[in-house]
Structure 1
Amino acid sequence: MATVELLFSALPEHVRTARLVAAAVARRAGVDEAVLDEVRLAVGEACTRAVGLHAGHGVTTPVRVVLIEDEKKFSIEVGDDAPHLSAADAAAGEASGAPEEGEDDMGLAVISGLVDDVEVTADESGGLIRMSWPTIPAPVLP
């Protein structure tokens, strides 16, 4: 199992770099060429979301992107350190007219539309989006 970890300042201009690195590592891992655009777009959405959450909450720690190459799949984890609302707090925020999670939901909907295997976890200490794609086994040479 090979792992690449990328940490970047929560600035929008670094999202493009994360997308390029993710696509390069995915290609090397054996992700089908036809899926690489989806990988780029999903990573871009997840990183943009993390950057926005960091900026909105004044978080100064870097955004984390972990690229994991397993035998049969390629996974990407995008983590943020922004506090996320509990369901009760989110309902109270909606009642007060706070737009906090609305933009968040749109990015997650885009990611869910691009990636079949996605998992989102979040609590008061941060969030993590895990995405994975199958890899094509390398041909066996005689």
Structure 2
Amino acid sequence: MATVELRFSALPEHVRTARLVAAAVARRAGVDEAVLDEVRLAVGEACSRAVGLHISNGVTAPVRVSLTEDEKKFSIEVGDEAPRAVTGHTAEGDAATADALSGDDAGAETDDEMGLAVISGLVDDVEVTSDETGGVIRMSWPTATASAVS
């Protein structure tokens, strides 16, 4: 069940707000304090990527961020509505850095790859999916209750 859902206009100045909200909700969910900077950075990268994709594709729909807390993990999904030439592709972990991308502009694609590389370096549990209607980056971290149990 989604704890918090954000939708914001695809403007770079809104990324900071998404980072702050994500860190606050992660803290409340029981994510270890030492990991909160990683949460902030990963959400910032994912939101910046979504904003860039919306701007470069002329998409006016808002960027979506869903923050979900359950018993053992805290998850964040950042969704965009920028169409991709790649259909139904799913990438996990480090493979996400190259294969979940499409586009005509090599510079934008390189920025996209760098953003995904940063995210996969920060988050152990990451999944990137995209199709002709947009994409989603799903990230999750264990909560304190999960680490106390294991």
For the 8 Å contact 2:54–2:60, the answer to whether it is kept is: yes
- SS class of match (1:127): strand
Q: Which residue of 1 aligns with 2:43?
A: 43
Residue 103 of structure 1 deviates from its aligned partner by 1.5
Match status 1:134 vs 2:142: yes
Q: Which residue of 2 aligns with 1:111?
A: 119
Tell me how far apart the structure 2 counterparts of residues 126 and 46 of structure 1 sit (CA, whole Å). Answer: 13
The one-letter code of the counterpart of 1:116 is D
Percent same amino acid at aligned positions? Answer: 79
- SS class of match (1:131): strand
Q: Which residue of 1 aligns with 2:130?
A: 122
Larger radius of gyration: 1
Residue 90 of structure 1 deviates from its aligned partner by 4.5
Residue 21 of structure 1 deviates from its aligned partner by 0.1
Deviation string 1:47-83 (CA, Å, 9 cap, x unpaired) is 0000000000000000000000010000000000001
The one-letter code of the counterpart of 2:125 is D
Q: 1:66 to 1:90 in 2, by over 3 A?
A: closer
The one-letter code of the counterpart of 1:85 is A
For the 8 Å contact 1:2–1:70, the answer to whether it is kept is: no
The one-letter code of the counterpart of 1:104 is D
Q: How many residues align?
A: 132
Q: Which residue of 2 aligns with 1:102?
A: 110
For the 8 Å contact 2:45–2:115, the answer to whether it is kept is: yes
Across the aligned residues of Structure 1 and Structure 2, the Cα RMSD in angstroms comes to 1.9
Tell me how far apart the structure 2 counterparts of residues 136 and 103 of structure 1 sit (CA, whole Å). Answer: 34
Residue 101 of structure 1 deviates from its aligned partner by 2.1
Residue 128 of structure 1 deviates from its aligned partner by 0.0
Tell me how far apart the structure 2 counterparts of residues 137 and 77 of structure 1 sit (CA, whole Å). Answer: 21
Tell me how far apart the structure 2 counterparts of residues 64 and 116 of structure 1 sit (CA, whole Å). Answer: 22
Residue 2 of structure 1 deviates from its aligned partner by 5.0
The one-letter code of the counterpart of 2:120 is S
Residue 84 of structure 1 deviates from its aligned partner by 1.5
Q: 1:126 to 1:136 in 2, by over 3 A?
A: same
- SS class of match (2:48): helix
After the TM superposition, which segments of 4 or more aligned residues of structure 1 sit over 2 Å from their partners? none
- SS class of match (1:137): helix
Q: Which residue of 2 aligns with 1:10?
A: 10
Gaps of 5+ in 1: none
The one-letter code of the counterpart of 1:39 is V
Q: Which residue of 2 aligns with 1:57?
A: 57
Gaps of 5+ in 2: 87-98
